[in-house]
Amino acid sequence: MKYNFNEIEAKWQKYWADNQTFKAKNPPLLGEMEGAPKFYVLDMFPYPSGAGLHVGHPLGYIASDIYARYKRHKGFNVLHPQGYDSFGLPAEQYAIQTGQHPALTTEENIKTYRRQLDQIGFSFDWSREVRTSDPSYYKWTQWIFIQLFNSWYNKDSNKAEDISELIKIFASEGNLKVNAVCDDTIESFSAEAWNAFDTVKQQQILLQYRLTYLAETEVNWCPALGTVLANDEIVNGVSERGGHPVIRKKMTQWSMRISAYAERLLQGLETIDWTESLKETQRNWIGKSVGASVFFPILSFPKGEEKAGSEKRPGYLTGGNNSHLILERAKEMRANPTLAEAALWEQLRNKNLDAKFRQQHLIEDYIVDFVCLDKKLIVEVDGKIHDSQIEEDAKRTEILENNYYKVIRFTNDEVLGNIEGVLKTIQEELSKRASVKNTQVPPSGARGIEVFTTRPDTIFGVSFMTLAPEHELVSQITSPAQKAEVEAYIEATAKRSERDRMADVKTISGAFTGAYAEHPFTKEPIPVWIGDYVLAGYGTGAVMSVPCGDQRDYDFAKHFNIPILNIFSITNPPPSEGSGEDKAFTEKSGFVLMNSGFLNGLSYKEATQKVIIELEKLGQGQGKTNYRLRDAVFSRQRYWGEPFPVYYVDGMPQMIDAKHLPIKLPEVEKYLPTETGEPPLGNAKKWYWLQYGDKADIVSKEEFDNSSPLGRLGGALELNTMPGWAGSSWYFNRYMDEHNENEFASKEALNYWKDVDLYIGGSEHATGHLLYSRFWQKFLFDKGLVPVDEYAKKLINQGMILGTSAFVKNLNFVFKYKSEEDLIEDTPTASVYFAPLYVSNNILKDKERLEKLLIDLINSNSKFKTLKNYIQSGKFETEPEIFFYEKHADVSFVNASDELNIEAFKNWREEYKNAEFICEEDGTFRVKREVEKMSKSKYNVVNPDQICVEYGADSLRLYEMFLGPLEQYKPWNTAGITGVHGFLKKLWRLYHQGENESFYVTSSPPSEGLGEALKTLHKTIKKVQEDIENFSFNTSVSSFMIAVNELTEQKCTSKEILEPLLILLSPYAPHIAEELWSQLGHAESISTAPFPKFYASHLVESSKNYPISFNGKMRFTLELPMDFNPQQIEEAVMAHEKTQEQLQGRVPKKVIIVPGKIVNIVG
RNA sequence: GCUCAAGUGGCGGAAUUGGUAGACGCGCCGGAUUCAAAAUCCGGUUCUUCGGAGUGCGGGUUCGAUUCCCGCCUUGAGUACCA
């Protein structure tokens, strides 16, 4: 009987499907699995692309499948599901090109994937399949989004809580005491103020606290793809998919407040068994730095503003950088008020409204009519002229409101006609606003520079400050003398693209602002510079520069001749470090401080503690932790993604009630943005939410506009869709209870399966999927929706399988003219005139031979007749000048010995039809091989379908594992598969040693016993078990080979050996194992047969073949009984003739004997 | 620059607590079978001047180092002026 793998594999794949062999059982219907431990093995589900699978894709699936099958043999209730991450860009790009609905192409692609996966024999429980693009799935993605919207992060309880709690707090005590994660620019308000806000205002404020929120953010806009990209979707400044340019753009977007979880995402890494490099990547991405925030008051101001500042509240300056220019104008305006202004001032000046107002006051670069500085309320009275400058006014209002001022406007007519009404409005606004006096007590000047530093201990080494050129203070503090220089510098840096700044880190540039800040302790003035090595986006966009302790500060100081003060008394210098004098000393240990006032003699740790206490006493700083992790943009201007369950009323987002979910993706005519630049959903004819009571519908704009507003809810639906990572951030929970229509998964299922025990996938998801999904899991955990806050206990990254490309060498040559006189433009001997010529790789190495072969060819081949005649004219050099090009040949034309199938290659493309080939002496044509990424364009893609047809799925599975360690990158070379295929044939023969290769396994042990065979078996049991548990799948394939080689040698036919061997092999090569298992007489699948037990007693040896070393070098071996004691061993070794031969009369100094291991003779 | 991972025959790789370096497989060489080829089977295969040498390089610890320590080089991945 032959090993007919195609037949066997089809048979068992059908059996598994028909019998639902791998269906995992959920409580309460556990059946025979009652009491069995659970085990959840998960693969990162694939995006079903149109190209189908290549041999690199199933690598991780094979590994996880082996593990899952192994755990079943070990008696676990195993959950091993699979599904599809089926929303995404490629299907949509394809839809744009072809007009085909992405749902259709996705469905097609999934069919291909499923067929390919099935033929490899995975033990997936397909009854639990999920697809992120399926409405029954994304219903729950939308539901989770709503939960995020309805939550805020309470820093006191350190978890997400319901937004209704926050509203209660606001209503009873305002937001002053709330310790929440929120936007940076939050205004403070009292309970009274909150209750007085209209609902739009309240919603605006709440958005600043919600875990998913709408905000104008600077995003990575990719014009070619027409969408926003996340940071991890951009590689080297271009889009990861397609390599299109990406620009920065401001847009209103949904964001996820992942920053709230920064610390917990960092801490959680300690509790999970993920690869160290992956954890390190996540740590980097989170970017925690611990230090202090320090406040440096500004000492000097440009002329004019100094005065303005010293008027009443020293240091509290509201004017902008140009104050000294505008001040005169303000005075003039005060003296000449309009009629309306005068009337209103009359009312305001006497504190009739219980608030102090100023008239014609400087705020930034504007002169405002009236301002209450304490409440930051601006009152403007507009004359006729303002009708013609509405836009300018709007801009002015925006700038002022960005600085937390509230601007209210009245017309002259209002003021003059209804002054009571105007005053009432002002009074109402005043009562809504919190007093600045209560919240903000300026230390020695409210205007100063706040910096974040990780080295507060070095504060006495500060010799200058550096601001990012974009820093908002720059325009305000620059002195008139420095203005031109500063502005020129800002302009120059703004022009430099992101790429330039990245590429050119070395050039030092900056400018002095002319301003000085005050050192918190020495009270000395410190010059304030700007420099583009300080990033606006990190920390506060300003640094205290300590040249002796930071190399960039040092370089900057040297470049601009700023004094450098050394504060390090170095006690233990690391060899490569500077002393602080000639190079920055950046270590945190090996020194005590000097020249540092009260910090003298202290170490980094002591000084840091002390200086923070002192800063707090001064009110000029406190300990602070910074994270680099930014909130994640959650909107995509695409069609093929989850729609948001959101509609808008008065520009404010409203969540649709969960009972109306899913909000299904609407049909659109085309998948491109609309003419007005809206996302593709803007093309939907019906995309308005219309709801009365429990009845709801999605309708057209006309229908909505014509509907009765009485009791109506609804509005325009959100046009963006969710990003690719939305659906993949929680799918592992859905597999536990995939068909549940009432919950995303039942409590019972979640509590039973809890978390993923083994998760396998690529490391390219380190900062995308793997971070976001941890964030969502922690959020769901906070809300009591899942039982654990880390969803994957162990994670392994499988390495990529690379392709082994084949290159043919295209030979080109020129015979040169001997005489320049003969030279004409068109050289008749150039090879372009003749048949394309290819030369075997090995010949290239021998240039002389190649030349000879070439000339022989020209002389003998009729295709080169014209050329031959030319050469014989005698005008040319006899030796040609040779050069060549490499061209990819399809790897399927090349065999294991790198020989090209010339006929196949010729027929591949028209241009190769007439090619001539210079072959090796043996007539073969060799290609050059090189390892590259597996890709269509390199013609090195190997399709698993082909392998399964030629060698079978079991061979494919074994070979993928055999290639090398799972985590490692390794090249695929189809040639090598004959090794494992041969092994399977040999295995088959081991069970078919009967007549005519018939099945033959004996039940009774042979008379001479099973000694050797048992040793082989148990050695293999031990090895395979250890290997699987250590995820070292490559080595167990080797041990199977060794076992089969040995058993074949032993002519073993015993069932006692051959039956357990099949169970060992079954996780790796399940089809052949099932087949032989059934031939052994079993009616049931092998899949749950108990894993054989290992007995060490079978491996006990009576003698040991000792390696005998001389000075650590093994020279010969000596078989000695195991029970010899060291003395007996020494005697036996010393008596041996080879020992004497090695020693050549010398007397050994020492003899090391480790019984059972080695003998080493020294001397 | 920083962080992490890795460097072993012609190739993929093995050597799990420091103890016979190169298991297993590919390829190559030789043989058997065959009219012949493929397929299959058997044997050999780190280099070598036959003394030895040898796990990227240079040191060190040890009776003994691919394994531990120090310094360096190369490759790959991540990150990028992060204060």
Class of domain A317-439: alpha beta
pLDDT at A71 over 80: yes
Mean pLDDT of A233-242: 69
Q: Between the CA of A502 and the C1' of B6, what is the distance in angstroms? A: 28
Q: Which 622-641 positions of A have CB less than 7 A from strand B?
A: 626, 628
Q: Which of A201-215, A305-319, A801-815 has the highest mean pLDDT?
A: A201-215
Q: Between the CA of A803 and the C1' of B71, what is the distance in angstroms? A: 37
Q: Between the CA of A935 and the C1' of B74, what is the distance in angstroms? A: 26
Q: Which 211-250 positions of A have CB less than 7 A from strand B?
A: 231-232, 235
Which positions ≥6 away from A513 have C-beta within 8 Å?
A467, A474, A477, A478, A479, A482, A486, A528, A529, A530
User: DSSP E strands: which ranges in A672-776?
Assistant: 686-692, 695-700, 712-717, 758-761
In A1066-1111, alpha helices (H): 1070-1079
pLDDT tens for each residue of A696-750? 999 999 999 999 999 999 999 999 999 989 999 999 999 999 999 999 999 999 9
* Nucleotide lying nearest to A1162, CA to C1' measure: B63
Q: Structure tokens of A908?
A: 């591949």
Strands A568-570 and A227-229: what pairing? unpaired
All CATH 3.90.740.10 domain ranges of chain A, comma separated, are 448-626
A1005 touches strand B (CB under 7 A): no
Q: Which 554-593 positions of A have CB less than 7 A from strand B?
A: 576
A532 touches strand B (CB under 7 A): yes
Q: Which of A24-38, A110-124, A500-514 has the highest mean pLDDT?
A: A110-124
All CATH 3.10.20.590 domain ranges of chain A, comma separated, are 1103-1162
Mean pLDDT of A491-519: 73
Q: Structure tokens of A1097?
A: 């007693």
pLDDT tens for each residue of A881-910? 778 888 888 888 888 788 888 888 888 888
pLDDT of residue A310: 32
A762 touches strand B (CB under 7 A): no
Q: What do you get for the CA distance between the two ends of chain A, in Å?
A: 61
pLDDT tens for each residue of A291-348? 899 999 887 665 444 433 333 232 345 655 455 556 767 777 777 778 888 888 888 8
All CATH 3.40.960.10 domain ranges of chain A, comma separated, are 317-439
Helix (H) or strand (E) holding A545: strand A542-545
Q: Between the CA of A931 and the C1' of B75, what is the distance in angstroms? A: 14
pLDDT of residue A961: 94
Identify whether the C-beta of residue A831 lies closer than 8 Å to the C-beta of residue A812: yes
Q: Which 1038-1057 positions of A have CB less than 7 A from strand B?
A: 1038, 1041-1042, 1045, 1048
Of A567, A581, A494, which Cα lies nearest the Cα of A530?
Answer: A494
Q: Structure tokens of A997?
A: 């290769």
Beta-carbon count within 10 A of A420 CB: 8
pLDDT of residue A23: 94
Q: Binning pLDDT at 50, 70 and 90, where does residue A381 land?
A: confident
**A416 or A988: which carries more pLDDT confidence?**
A988
Q: Between the CA of A485 and the C1' of B44, what is the distance in angstroms? A: 80
Which positions ≥6 away from A416 have C-beta within 8 Å?
A339, A340, A343
Q: Between the CA of A296 and the C1' of B33, what is the distance in angstroms? A: 92
pLDDT of residue A445: 47
**A956 or A1139: which carries more pLDDT confidence?**
A956
Identify whether the C-beta of residue A460 lies closer than 8 Å to the C-beta of residue A595: yes
Which positions ≥6 away from A852 have C-beta within 8 Å?
none
pLDDT of residue A813: 79
pLDDT of residue A1081: 94
pLDDT tens for each residue of A842-857? 777 777 778 888 888 8
Q: Which of A473-477, A591-595, A1056-1060 has the highest mean pLDDT?
A: A1056-1060
Q: How far apart are CA A263 and CA A541, in angstroms?
A: 22
pLDDT tens for each residue of A1048-1105? 988 888 999 999 999 999 999 999 999 999 999 999 999 999 999 999 888 887 888 8
A963 touches strand B (CB under 7 A): yes
Residue A127 exposure: Cα atoms within 13 Å on the Cβ side? 15
pLDDT of residue A145: 97
- What's the topology of domain A448-626? Isoleucyl-tRNA Synthetase; domain 2 (3.90.740)
A901 touches strand B (CB under 7 A): no
pLDDT of residue A702: 94
Q: Between the CA of A979 and the C1' of B17, what is the distance in angstroms? A: 33
pLDDT tens for each residue of A512-541? 998 889 899 998 889 999 988 888 777 788
pLDDT of residue A891: 87
pLDDT of residue A404: 67
pLDDT at A814 over 90: no
Q: How far apart are CA A958 and CA A215, in angstroms?
A: 52
pLDDT of residue A304: 43
**A482 or A440: which carries more pLDDT confidence?**
A482
**A230 or A420: which carries more pLDDT confidence?**
A420
* Nucleotide lying nearest to A281, CA to C1' measure: B78
pLDDT of residue A839: 87
Is A933 assigned to a binding site?
no
Q: Between the CA of A923 and the C1' of B35, what is the distance in angstroms? A: 21
Strands A758-761 and A38-43: what pairing? parallel
pLDDT at A590 over 90: no
Residue A930 exposure: Cα atoms within 13 Å on the Cβ side? 12
Mean pLDDT of A7-17: 95
Give the range among A192-206, A496-510, A888-902 with minimum mean pLDDT: A496-510
Residue A280 exposure: Cα atoms within 13 Å on the Cβ side? 3
pLDDT of residue A501: 55
Q: How far apart are CA A466 and CA A580, in angstroms?
A: 19
pLDDT of residue A448: 83
Q: Between the CA of A841 and the C1' of B28, what is the distance in angstroms? A: 17
Q: What is the ipTM of this complex?
A: 0.94
pLDDT at A193 over 60: yes
pLDDT tens for each residue of A86-143? 998 889 888 888 889 999 999 999 999 999 999 999 999 999 999 999 999 999 999 9
DSSP A756-780: BSEEEE-GGGTTTHHHHHHHHHHHH
Q: What is the mean pLDDT of chain A?
A: 85
Q: What percent of chain A has pLDDT over 90?
A: 42
Q: How far apart are CA A214 and CA A203, in angstroms?
A: 11
Q: How far apart are CA A851 and CA A159, in angstroms?
A: 77
Mean pLDDT of A815-831: 66
Give the range among A14-28, A481-495, A499-513 with minimum mean pLDDT: A499-513
Which positions ≥6 away from A854 have C-beta within 8 Å?
A811, A813, A837, A880, A882, A918
Chain B: nucleotides below 7 Å from protein CB are: 3-5, 11-16, 19-21, 23-28, 40-42, 53, 63-65, 72, 76-83
pLDDT at A573 over 70: no
**A423 or A865: which carries more pLDDT confidence?**
A423
**A491 or A13: which carries more pLDDT confidence?**
A13
Q: Binning pLDDT at 50, 70 and 90, where does residue A231 land?
A: low
pLDDT of residue A307: 39
Identify whether the C-beta of residue A16 lies closer than 8 Å to the C-beta of residue A123: yes
Give the range among A170-174, A404-408, A749-753, A929-933 with minimum mean pLDDT: A404-408
Instruction: Please tell me which residue lies nearest to nucleotide B65, judged from CA to C1'.
Output: A1112
Domain A1103-1162 has CATH 2.40.160.60: no
A533 touches strand B (CB under 7 A): yes
pLDDT at A752 over 90: yes
pLDDT tens for each residue of A250-280? 778 899 999 999 999 999 998 899 988 888 8
Q: Which 1134-1163 positions of A have CB less than 7 A from strand B?
A: 1150, 1152, 1154, 1157-1158, 1160, 1162
